Structure formats: structure tokens, C-alpha cells
A and B are shown apart, each in its own frame.
Chain A
Amino acid sequence: MKILVAVKRVVDYNVKVRVKADNSGVDLANVKMSMNPFCEIAVEEAVRLKEKGVASEIVVVTIGPAAAQEQLRTALALGADRALLVESGEELNSLAVAKLLKAVVDKEQPQLVILGKQSIDSDNNQTGQMLAALTGYAQGTFASKVEVAGDKLSVTREIDGGLQTVSLALPAVVTTDLRLNEPRYASLPNIMKAKKKPLETVTPDALGVSLASTLKTVRVEAPAARSAGIKVGSVAELVEKLKNEAKVI
């Protein structure tokens, strides 16, 4: 089967972001960017399915600025076969991204689409579900285990109380949770080989998708800072403070 994997270029998860002084957003100038950690897990799962002989081809797609080619090359170095960049300079909301991915799905006709469960910048956790809605596919969100059995997909999902297993008709959309797998590192020879793999660039216009949004960000501010705490010298002092000062026990 053909697998489509969507990845996103985001600020590296180790960076502590700063809000811009004019409250228009967070400052992303000169900040290290990486592939969203959940997307790395999505790429890894696709590569494992190919290694098991389940998948025949892995197409990786991203929507973003020209610089997002770096993340596509990373995915190619990890084992994806070819890449597609939908180049868009503006920051898009989940629905627009889902519509663009739907257009890519219509063109590529994959049997399985794998996305991360959320991107660590917007923390939306929407795109996979929206893509499933637009394509009419079944969805297996927050997956911690994925197995293909004939024309069905068995997905074990992380839910609030534990784990849930569902059986989905293919084609389907899966979003990855952290425990699905441990992503591999790209080796230097594979990074070199990835430079020769095909990477196609298209525009949203060429896909015939309108990017109009009903949502606008009015302001971005830093969260309220916590007042500085104190260090206590002993357990007895801690208990005394919790009982008499904070009055929480």
C-alpha cells in the first residue's frame, strides 16, 4: 500500500519561546526549527510498515515556507521515498492545512495517511481528524499500536482511562501518540542519498484550495508568571508551611 505522511516544521521542542513585545505572536526569528516530534513518530511508523513489507511507497508532505524542505529531506533520509512541499508563506490554521492535505490525498490516493497527534507550536490536535472528515475516511487518533490485517486496520489508542482498540476500514487516517515507536536517527549516508530523492513543490492555488479562515489571533501574551518560591530546609518545615502558610493540607 501507499502511505502518505504529513510533517510540520516547528520550533525545536527544547527552545523556550518568547512572546514578541508587541504581542503579535512569539518570536521565531533565529530560533532553531525542527520536525515536530509527533511527525517524526509518524515517519518512523511508515518506514517500519515498509520494512515489514506492508507499505510499498512512502510519500511525505509538508505545508509551509521554502525552508520546510529541510524537514522533508530529513524524512527522506529516514526512509521516505519522495516528498511534496505545498509552499505557503503565511501561517495556516488546521482547517486550511486539512483541505490542502485532502487535495494531496485526492491526487496520491494513499491507503493510509499518518500524521502526528498535535504540533507542539499551536497545540491544536485537529488536522488528522479534519482530514479524516474531509476525505470521509475512518480515523485512529492517538495511536500507540498500528497493525494492518487484510483490508482492515487495527489501532490501539491512548485514551483517558487506559487503552482502546478499534478496527478501521481502509483507507484510513492515523495520528501518532508518543508511545507508538522510538524514531531512528538519520545516518550520514542516508542524508546524502536523501539529497537525490525527488522533492516536488506546488502552491495552494495549484491545488485549488482556498485558505480563507474564520479564525484570527488577536493577541499573544506571556502566561502569568508565578511568584518566586522559597526553599525549605527540612521535611518538618515543609509540612509546617503547607499546613499553616499555604493551608493546602
Chain B
Amino acid sequence: MAILVIAEHSNGALAGATLNTVAAAQKIGGEIVVLVAGQGVAPVAEAAAKVAGVGKVLVADDAAYANLLPENVAPLIVGLAKGYSHVLAPATTNGKNYLPRVAALLDVEQISEIVEVVAADTFKRPIYAGNAIATVQSSAPVKVITVRATGFDAVAAEGGSAAIEPVSGTGDAGKSAFVGEELATSDRPELTAAKIVISGGRGLQNGDNFKHLYALADKLGAAVGASRAAVDAGFVPNDMQVGQTGKIVAPQLYIAVGISGAIQHLAGMKDSKVIVAINKDEDAPIFQVADYGLVADLFEAVPELEKLV
């Protein structure tokens, strides 16, 4: 059995989610081959070759694979997939974009966002916004799977010495073109990888008041997230959203400030190790999942917290 893991990368660096995906591949068992597709990805391939547990790195370096457009990348992966028992990608927006296309072209089901490997053909995944966990078994010849990063501890980024081998696919399918992107800039840790996450909701009242959370976050080395209410109200950009439709996080400490705790928000953070809720409504549902709850006005409690930590 050999497992093909599709690497996630941006700006010439291997993304952390790839390490969690390799960890899931190790749980399945078998030789692990990482595919790095993109343009100018030699440094990514070198980083992938150093990842512990990786047996081989395939590099598809072509302008057609820049930005991982699914119309171009899916045929490349399909061409390689036949020799593997499993094809895994991180459940990032990229992985979610191209991998179902791969599965359909291979005429197999895809298993989305696994959080546990039970056996080489059996996996656990959350359904209904994390309110139920399904165990699913696949009899497909190639198991096509996206991996939820927070379900698996990342493997070491150093220690491996895999061989790097170039591969090529069919190139540009001519159906789509990248026009541009607008990335949010932040000096704080990445939301999905941070050990501490502080999130704000509608209770913050406006975008300016998020400065209280940023000040606390900077002191704790934390990332800042938000509920959908805060994003929809325009307080913060949408890539900060935590929840069923946003990012899934599982940090050591999650501090929910002015967030009521709707089912859809809980889906994105309830696997956090310790949850703290600060809310002035003592009946807010967030208190049902919080390890430590503080019923208080956030505009007094957050600055005081910042002083004390």
C-alpha cells in the first residue's frame, strides 16, 4: 500500500496542514508519497522531503498548477492516483476544492474531513455541524480523503530525507484562469495553528472594539478569530470566521468574547482543550461548553484580563 498526500503550500513555504495530513497517512500505514504541485515550488519540495515519515516527493512544477486551479490539478492527481491505495489532502479551501473533482473523475466517493483513522478502510468524521460522529467504511479501490488538521497531531517538519522526483501531467485544461487575490495580512499566528485563540462576536459592537482583543492576543501570542455575526456585521474580514462554514480550530485555549455560542460556531471550536467564555448574558449557550465562564461586561473584563496575564 502506498499513500499519496497532496501538499498544501503558499508563498514558497510548506503549510502546516500538510504535516497533520502526513500524520493521518501514518495512521493508515504504508509508504507515504507527497505530491507538490505548483509553480516555482522547488523550496516546497525540499521542505516536504525533510518531513518525518515521507518516503518520496513528487514535484509537478508548471505554470498550469499555480494557485492549484482544480480544472488543471485534478487530472494531474487522477493520472497518478491509480498506483495508490489512498489519496489524502488537507481539508483546506484548496483541498476541498480539487479533491472531490479527483474523486468523481476516479468514479469513487470522497470521505470529507476525517478526524480519526479506525482502520485502513474505516474512518470517523463529524456530521451535522459536529453534533454527531459517523464511522464510514469505504470499499473503493482508491480511497480519496480530506483530513481535518485539528484531528491529528502534526509530524515533525525535520528528520526525513526523501528523494525528489519530477512528474508532469496534462497541463492547462483551458477552462479557468487565475485573476488575482486579496489576502488579509496579519502578524499574529495563523488561526488554525495557534495554541491560543481569542474570538469576538456581536457583543464587540463594532470593528474598532476588536482592538481590545488584539491587545490581549498580542500579550498571549494568540490568534484572533470571530463569529459569523461579527463577520457579517463587517467588524472583521471573513477569513477570521470560526465555525461550520469558517475555520475549524482546536487550540489549547479558546477564549470566546461576546459570542452567544450558536451550533454553527461551536462546530468550529468545541474540540479546544480549554474553553473560556466571557459574556454578560448568563444564559448564553456558550456557557454550556465553557470550562471557565465569566459573566461580565467584556469592555471591563478584557482590559482587566490583559493587565493580569
Contact = CB atoms under 8 A, between A and B. Distances in A.
Say whether A and B bind each other: yes
B26 interface: no
Contacts, number: 250
A231 B108 contact: no
B126 A223 contact: yes
A3 to B, nearest CB: 19
Interface string B127-152: 11111111111111000000000000
Contacts of A223: 126, 130-133, 270
B34 interface: no
B167 interface: no
Given A17-B128, A139-B71, A236-B308, A166 B294 contact: no
B237 interface: yes
Contact of A230 (B108, B110, B131, B291): B291
A186 interface: no
B246 to A, nearest CB: 9
B34 to A, nearest CB: 19
Interface in B130-187: 130-140, 174-184
B275 interface: yes
A117 B301 CA distance: 38
A141 B96 contact: yes
A45 interface: no
Interface stretch (B37-45, B46-54, B99-107, B207-215): B99-107
A229 interface: yes
B287 interface: yes
A133 interface: yes
Contact of B253 (A162, A167, A246): A246
B295 interface: yes
Tell me what chain A mostly uses at the interface: helix, strand, loop, or mixed: mixed
A220 B275 CA distance: 26
B164 to A, nearest CB: 26
A206 interface: no
B112 A242 contact: no
Tell me what chain B mostly uses at the interface: helix, strand, loop, or mixed: mixed
Interface in A147-184: 154, 157-169, 177-179
A222 B133 contact: yes
A133 B100 contact: yes
B109 interface: yes
Interface residues on A, range: 35 or more
A229 B137 contact: no
Interface string A189-223: 00000000000000000000000011111111111
Given A133-B101, A178-B245, A249-B196, A218 B135 contact: yes
Given A13-B264, A133-B102, 15 more contacts: A98-B104, A129-B97, A132-B70, A133-B101, A139-B70, A162-B182, A162-B184, A169-B175, A214-B139, A217-B136, A218-B137, A219-B134, A222-B132, A235-B294, A246-B273
Interface of A: 11, 13-14, 16-17, 19, 26, 93-95, 98, 117-118, 120-134, 136-139, 141-142, 144, 154, 157-169, 177-179, 213-223, 226-227, 229-232, 234-236, 238-239, 241-242, 246, 248-249
7 contacts: A129-B99, A138-B71, A157-B93, A159-B239, A164-B182, A178-B232, A223-B126
Interface of B: 10, 67, 69-71, 74, 92-94, 96-105, 107-113, 122, 126-140, 174-184, 192, 196, 220, 228, 231-232, 237-239, 244-245, 247, 252-253, 263-264, 270, 273-276, 282, 287, 289-296, 301, 304-305, 308-309
Q: Which 9 A-B pairs have the closest CB atoms?
A: A129-B100, A133-B104, A130-B104, A126-B100, A138-B175, A214-B140, A162-B183, A229-B291, A165-B179
